[in-house]
Structure 1
Amino acid sequence: MNLLGIHHVSILTGKAEKNFEFYTKILGMRLVKKGVNQDDTTSYHLFYGDAKGNPGTELTFFDIPMLAKTHPGVSSITSTSLRVKSSASLEYWKERFQQFGVEHEEIKKRANRSTLAFEDFEGTKLILVADDNEEGVAPGEAWSETDIPVEHGIVGLGAVLLRVRDQQPTAHVLTNILGFEHVGSYPSVDGEGLPDVDVFSTGEGGVGAEVHIQERKDLPKERIGRGGVHHVAFRIPNEEEYDKWAELIQRAGLMNSGKVDRFYFKALYFREQNGILFELSTDTPGFDVDESVDSLGQNLSLPPFMEHQREEIERKLRPLTLSE
């Protein structure tokens, strides 16, 4: 019983319209689901992914207007990687970022991979990482309905970087409960004298199945706001294994949400000891359970158990115009 890798990463935004422009028009990702935060239906929940909305490709955003900015620190998911096919693609993206005025670094090596770090307009820390034919979790499929050449398109999620004050409790949860393996480390690229970053891997391995951890005793605790990462979800293949994972998390004594039906996937949430929120999510049934692949993200999607509230939900939602 192994987790397959990263399922999705959920982030906070204060400006859904501008968020849509950035992730679809500049990054060329596809809006695969326009929904609501099922725990607060006055807020939109936007999902961006690959051409088919495959598991392991989605960045999701909770829209919270007037949200304060994030104050970075530990107990945080500090950065999220997005996969591209090759190192040559990073040169393309570097030029594109210059063209659109996107804050970015130079191309650097992280975990022996070519990477290009950048930020969105709210300060969300993102890293393009080149697959370069590396074995491991398969990538998704780049969205072709964009001006970005398919060979340079984003094909899925890569590793997340966690920063914590004490690495041991987080590493314990990853290895002894979730079944990750410690597979190495690499020097920090953020400055001389900073601690190395440890790499933990699950499933078939590769960048789509990794969590990176850096211990930073010098930093305050993060105060999350716009641009901050709310949680990271890990992939479970099906509902049968989901039931087993729910039992395992309970037996491990981790306080958790219990089983949560999101309709598009089954979920379970818990915090590890440093306070980072983890989610376990099923690959099934997927985002095309209520929309065809061709029409993903075009309408406001509600799970069947919320359909009777549609009129009320739509009345309370603020107007949201996403220009195609």
Structure 2
Amino acid sequence: MKIDRIHHVAYRCKDAKQTVEWYVKHLNMDFVLAIAEDKVPSTQAPDPYMHVFLDAGQGNVLAFFELPNSPEMGRDENTPGWVQHIAFKVDSLATLEATKARLQAAGIEVVGVTDHTIFKSIYFFDPNGHRIELAADVGTPEMYERLDACKWEMLNEWAQTRKAPRHAAWMHEKQFDTGTPH
């Protein structure tokens, strides 16, 4: 078996209507589906929910569950806030910068533009506290090839040492040189 694509990714939300309206307004997503039940279909547990689906482009679907009978949403206190996030690709750096300005004008706090060498990103939070990243690819084919060539070596070194391997340190040290073998 080979996975065809992600069917949808689902997160919890505080308010389904507010969440849909926020994603439609700020990220220009289309609201494509709502499902509501009084029982969970897979477990038959009595737990009413609203399940909403948004079109994140090219067959990608972002979904949310509002669970009114569950305890208030929280987050894993042992995981830093920057770790768990949803990242969406935008078509250009110009789009990224224009979106940043539009979000800030709407009163949304935005971090970045952060330069990751092969892409540039902005970060902000949705009304549920989920961190969102928008990324614009800016890397060259040589950069992606270099990263591809060392991925397994990096992973194996990490698995043994739990220290950051230096194979791709050039990305944040801004020292990429296509003429020098590394």
Q: What TM-score, normalized to structure 2?
A: 0.69
Aligned pair partner of 1:213 in 60, 64, 68: 64
The answer for unaligned runs of 5 or more in structure 2 is 155-166, 176-182
Could you list the per-position Cα deviations for residues 246-290 of structure 1 after superposition, in whole angstroms to 9, with x for gaps in the alignment? 222122210110311111211100012221111111134278625
Determine which structure has the larger helix proportion and give its number: 2
Structure with the bigger RCO (C-alpha within 8 Å, sep 6+) is: 1
Within 1, Cα distance between the matches of 2:118 and 2:11?
Answer: 27
Of the two, which has the highest radius of gyration?
2
The answer for unaligned runs of 5 or more in structure 1 is 1-151, 309-324
Compute the RMSD of aligned alpha carbons. Answer: 2.9
Aligned pair partner of 1:306 in 173, 176, 182: 173
Answer yes or no: is the 8 Å Cα contact 2:16–2:52 preserved in 1: no
Aligned pair partner of 1:255 in 99, 109, 116: 109
Within 2, Cα distance between the matches of 1:280 and 1:264?
Answer: 14
Answer yes or no: is the 8 Å Cα contact 1:237–1:284 preserved in 2: no
Could you list the per-position Cα deviations for residues 219-254 of structure 1 after superposition, in whole angstroms to 9, with x for gaps in the alignment? 23333146x971011110221222222222122210
Q: What TM-score, normalized to structure 1?
A: 0.41
Answer yes or no: is the 8 Å Cα contact 1:166–1:215 preserved in 2: yes
Match of 1:161 in 2: 10
Aligned length: 153
| Percent of aligned positions that are identical | 21
Residue 154 of structure 1: CA displacement? Answer: 3.6
Within 2, Cα distance between the matches of 1:276 and 1:256?
Answer: 13
One-letter amino acid of the structure 2 residue matched with residue 180 of structure 1? M
Answer yes or no: is the 8 Å Cα contact 2:93–2:120 preserved in 1: yes
User: Relative to structure 1, is the Cα distance of residues 261 and 155 closer, same or farther in structure 2, using a 3 angstrom cutoff?
Assistant: farther
One-letter amino acid of the structure 2 residue matched with residue 176 of structure 1? K
Superposed, 1:87-166 pairs within 5 Å as 152-154=1-3, 156-166=5-15
Answer yes or no: is the 8 Å Cα contact 1:200–1:210 preserved in 2: yes
